[in-house]
Structure 1
Amino acid sequence: MLLLLFAPMYGILAAVVSKPIIDMGWDAGIAIFGLRPMDLIGVGLPAVLLIWMASSAAGRPRPMQFLGIWCAYLLCSLLGALMMAVGGDMVGSLSFMFRILNGFVGFYMFQTYFADRDRFKKLLLAMLIGGLVPMLMGFYESVTGDLFRVRQGVGDQIRIAGLYHNSIAYRYFAYITLTGIGLYWVYFTPKSQLKKWLLAAYAIIALVVLYRVYSKAGFASLALALLLGSIAARRILPVLVLGVVLVTVNSFMAGEVFDEVSTTFLKETSVLSGEEDTDRLFSGRVGGWKSQLDYWSDGTLENKLFGGRGGGRDAKGGGHNDYIRALLQTGSIGLAAYILLLAVLGFRIFQRFLSDQNWLNTVAAILYCMWIIDSIGLTPAVYTHFQWYVWGFVGLAMRGVKGLGDDKRKNEVVVPRRVRDLKRSPE
């Protein structure tokens, strides 16, 4: 926190590096003023950066793009938080509001402090360093079968979770690590062959961890990343090579890879074949969504419009659906603001991606798709580090990073052929 107060850029880097380790202490029983270390960083970082944003021009980007739609979203969230507090859930109210503030601060955080080449490189290195402990721990579990915690997947699948509360942390940290590796490779390609091999090995370790989480969202997000990445690279060969490698590995492992992926989607295929009820879709989440919607419909008119159904189970949940969570916590008006925010940002992200498929715009498009996928079966808006990561890179892509060379094509003056021919012709 001291670094954030006096040197916010280095404080953010320290948070990126330390968050994977801090999150391991979720059940350690250590608390300061009732806040666990992971809660302290989730409250302290947005609070300090908001002070910097309000008090110093150096603490905010100029201009602050999309500030109006973000403020509308924050206002609806604040109304929902006040409704929770009035209902007697003061702790849930504060927890919810700071989670939302992490998204707002995250959107402006990277573009404020890492919008030039040297600082951007420091951010990527922090992501690579921060991923070391969770990725090596997950790889150890995957290779040895010696699990720190057992988390049941679909059927007889056992998901790795390490020292974290659940497997979602592994998946998010794997995303962050792979993003760091990919962007470091394309923008700061190391000349040393040893460094290239180390980055490649690191990527393989992260992919193994991501695979062993056995997540439908993880597999879908990885497929989308490959698709958008191949479009940006304008090359299909890397995807074909990866496909050949995947088939080879699957054959070497006696079909285990494809079998496990198939098992991950077992409930969905069972529903489609008529073997199970639709309530069993998405690991039974559909049934939970119906229950949560019934809970919302039983509320008062004020609750339906402005939310505040934050007592206990709804402070983080909503039946594992971010839109139902928003409906319960911020009401139908807050849900509309959330959807509008996603729509406006999504339109701008893909507008930029289609006009200029540089790697930063590509990453922003991939992360936005990841968010949408996760919002169906999870509640990404309550995970602080995932919000820093997704909205941070989305905001950074919209502003751009000076010195990366992504703007070279934009600065070229395109001279029509006719004009060129006139210039060449003798007078």
Structure 2
Amino acid sequence: MTALVNRQPTAPTRTGRILTLIAAVVMAGAAAFSGMSTAGTDRRLVIVPLAAVLAGVLATLAFTRFAAFVLLILGVRASIDLFKLSGPSSGNTLTNTAAARALDPSTILAVLFLLAASLWLIAQFARDGHLRGSRLRTALVCFSLAGFVGLPGSSQPQASALEALRILSVVMMYVVLEQLITTPEMLRKVLTAAFAGLAFPLLYQTYTIASGHSASEVLGSFTRLTGPFAQANTFARYLAFMLVFGVAILPHVSRRLQLVLLPMLGLSGVYLVLTITRGALIAAVVGIVIVGVVQRSKVILGGVAVAVLAAAVVFPSVSSRFAELGTSATAGGGPTGNTLAWRINYWTEVLPLANKNPVTGIGLNVTQYSTDAAKQPHNDFIRAYVETGLLGLVTYIAALLAMVGNARRAISRSRPGTFERGVAAGALGCAWCFIITSLAANVMSNVVSLWYLITFTAAAAYVARPHNPFPTHDPALPSPARSGADQR
């Protein structure tokens, strides 16, 4: 505890950064090696010992250099689902148990993060007598608590507890980053770690395509890219957040960083299209349009229009997928069809489940145990009401409103044409991207995507603080003329 108090929230030393980089490279390489070399064998024989060793390394880092630990896990979280031993939790009740998912590296990492973050926050409170707060933090914490309040009434307490912990890890990441991001330098480090983490999913997907064994899943007549994740939907949501925020900050970083970021965003856009995930595609387009409007950028608005037209022409499967929404063949019994019609029918089946306990709900993740389809509600607003009751629905909506309000304050407190305005615009675009996706998908507990959404939201929260002036020249910007100076 004393070490945590004394060492934080100071930035990592040069030695710490080197060790962090080495650990990140080792973990990414291990992910690639394990994922590509264990075909036809028991993956647990390779993954479990490796996860145990890496957990020990991460635990040591977490309790000695907490800031470096957070940066590291942001850099590797998008890659470790390649280790996943259990199947997807959505619509699969057999793999949605503690026994099935306890050995997943993502579960181990989440537990380690929750433990280390809790101790670090206690240490910060003991030192300063308070923690930096906001309306968004309050709303997120209240929504997380709503999930735990419903546990006594859950018919599947184990599954509900697992889901509550997943949501808690997302909330904890925001609380931690809200405390850590106190300088422009730390802001850049956090965002750099997040985008460094984008490299492996893109490289992995590219490698599998080049090797002739593309990481993908088959949905009827469509083949959808999955990247290192279990499902194409997860890959799509992750790429959507990274793309929206990346487009927002791209004009405001140095030319050297643009040469790195631009190809990554271009490849992200192509792979997002090839996931053929309609909700994520629509949400990403809306998010980028919002960024273009906030930044008053004709280049961004024109670029997204050209990209949409090009995608429709170059990838006819995308047009075919959207065309299904006009057919009379509803999905549910088959893999494709008018999934919007299926969703509407399913929502009418799911909503009455809340009548059992309208105040605290039937319990997180219990919907898929209570319907013949064995699926989550495919609408996070309905899910919040059914599974966490009116208490959860109100706090969930409050969190969304606070997220949008946080980004809007960041916009009002940043100057046009600065890096900070790019951060604010990206956070607003990502917030609406999440809201739109939530209308027809299960996203509220999708940790791998939400950690990055929360990262961008926390970055905007720093920009929104009026008492944090930015330097007269930010090295992340191409010139002093485009600096983030702000003497407000």
Aligned to 1:128: 195
Do residues 389 (structure 1) and 452 (structure 2) align? Answer: yes
Q: CA deviation at 1:27?
A: 2.3
Structure 2: unaligned runs, 5 residues or longer: 1-57, 88-98, 333-337, 475-481
Do residues 377 (structure 1) and 440 (structure 2) align? Answer: yes
Aligned to 1:260: 317
Aligned to 2:287: 225
Amino acid of the structure 2 residue aligned with 1:167: A
Contact 2:365 2:387 in 1 (8 A): no
Q: CA deviation at 1:209?
A: 0.9
Which has the higher relative contact order, 1 or 2, with Cα contacts under 8 A spaced 6 or more apart? 1
Q: CA RMSD in A?
A: 3.5
Contact 1:149 1:163 in 2 (8 A): no
Contact 1:125 1:180 in 2 (8 A): no
TM-score by length of 2: 0.70
Output one character per residue of 1:193-216: Cα deviation in whole Å (capped at 9) or x when no partner.
xx6434322222111111101111
Q: CA deviation at 1:407?
A: 6.0
Aligned to 2:359: 305
Do residues 41 (structure 1) and 109 (structure 2) align? Answer: yes
Q: 1:343 to 1:225 in 2, by over 3 A?
A: closer
Q: 1:17 to 1:250 in 2, by over 3 A?
A: closer
Aligned to 1:63: 132
Rg larger for: 1
Do residues 287 (structure 1) and 287 (structure 2) align? Answer: no
Rounded Cα–Cα distance in structure 1 between residues aligned with 2:163 and 2:101 = 18
Rounded Cα–Cα distance in structure 2 between residues aligned with 1:216 and 1:188 = 30
Contact 1:17 1:130 in 2 (8 A): yes
Q: How does 1:295-374 map to 2 (within 5 A)?
A: 295-297=353-355, 299=356, 303-310=357-364, 314=368, 318-353=376-411, 356=414, 358-374=421-437
Q: CA deviation at 1:15?
A: 0.9
Amino acid of the structure 2 residue aligned with 1:38: S
Rounded Cα–Cα distance in structure 2 between residues aligned with 1:69 and 1:241 = 36
Q: Give the number of equivalent residue pairs.
A: 390
Do residues 189 (structure 1) and 257 (structure 2) align? Answer: no
Aligned to 2:63: 5
Contact 1:321 1:379 in 2 (8 A): yes
Output one character per residue of 1:36-56: Cα deviation in whole Å (capped at 9) or x when no partner.
211111222123212211231
Rounded Cα–Cα distance in structure 2 between residues aligned with 1:121 and 1:177 = 15
Rounded Cα–Cα distance in structure 1 between residues aligned with 2:101 and 2:340 = 38
- Residue 77 of structure 1 is aligned with which of 144, 147, 154? 147
Output one character per residue of 1:336-368: Cα deviation in whole Å (capped at 9) or x when no partner.
221222223323433543665611111111111
- Residue 270 of structure 2 is aligned with which of 208, 215, 218? 208
Output one character per residue of 1:130-165: Cα deviation in whole Å (capped at 9) or x when no partner.
21221123334567763334231xx62211114421
Q: CA deviation at 1:91?
A: 2.2
- Residue 206 of structure 2 is aligned with which of 128, 133, 139? 139
Q: CA deviation at 1:167?
A: 0.7
Amino acid of the structure 1 residue aligned with 2:142: A
Q: CA deviation at 1:234?
A: 1.8
Q: Which moved more, 1:44-53 or 1:360-369?
A: 44-53
Rounded Cα–Cα distance in structure 2 between residues aligned with 1:166 and 1:250 = 21
Aligned to 1:420: none
Amino acid of the structure 2 residue aligned with 1:63: R
Q: 1:33 to 1:354 in 2, by over 3 A?
A: closer
Q: 1:115 to 1:60 in 2, by over 3 A?
A: farther
**SS of match in other structure, 2:439:** helix
Q: 1:33 to 1:229 in 2, by over 3 A?
A: closer
Q: 1:148 to 1:182 in 2, by over 3 A?
A: closer
Q: 1:104 to 1:229 in 2, by over 3 A?
A: same
Amino acid of the structure 1 residue aligned with 2:302: L
Q: CA deviation at 1:276?
A: 5.4
Amino acid of the structure 2 residue aligned with 1:130: G
Output one character per residue of 1:306-355: Cα deviation in whole Å (capped at 9) or x when no partner.
12334755489632221222223211222122122222332343354366
Rounded Cα–Cα distance in structure 1 between residues aligned with 2:215 and 2:398 = 41
Q: 1:244 to 1:104 in 2, by over 3 A?
A: closer
Amino acid of the structure 2 residue aligned with 1:105: M
Amino acid of the structure 1 residue aligned with 2:170: G
Amino acid of the structure 2 residue aligned with 1:379: N
Aligned to 1:417: none
TM-score by length of 1: 0.79
Q: 1:166 to 1:52 in 2, by over 3 A?
A: same
**SS of match in other structure, 1:158:** strand
Contact 1:228 1:366 in 2 (8 A): yes
Q: CA deviation at 1:189?
A: 0.9
Q: 1:389 to 1:20 in 2, by over 3 A?
A: closer
Q: How does 1:94-173 map to 2 (within 5 A)?
A: 94-140=161-207, 146-152=213-219, 156-173=221-238
Q: 1:260 to 1:230 in 2, by over 3 A?
A: same
Q: 1:245 to 1:148 in 2, by over 3 A?
A: closer
Q: 1:151 to 1:314 in 2, by over 3 A?
A: same
Q: 1:185 to 1:236 in 2, by over 3 A?
A: closer
Rounded Cα–Cα distance in structure 2 between residues aligned with 1:278 and 1:32 = 28
- Residue 92 of structure 1 is aligned with which of 149, 155, 159? 159
Amino acid of the structure 2 residue aligned with 1:268: L
Output one character per residue of 1:83-128: Cα deviation in whole Å (capped at 9) or x when no partner.
33xx4x3422321221221232122232322332222222233223
Aligned to 2:326: 269
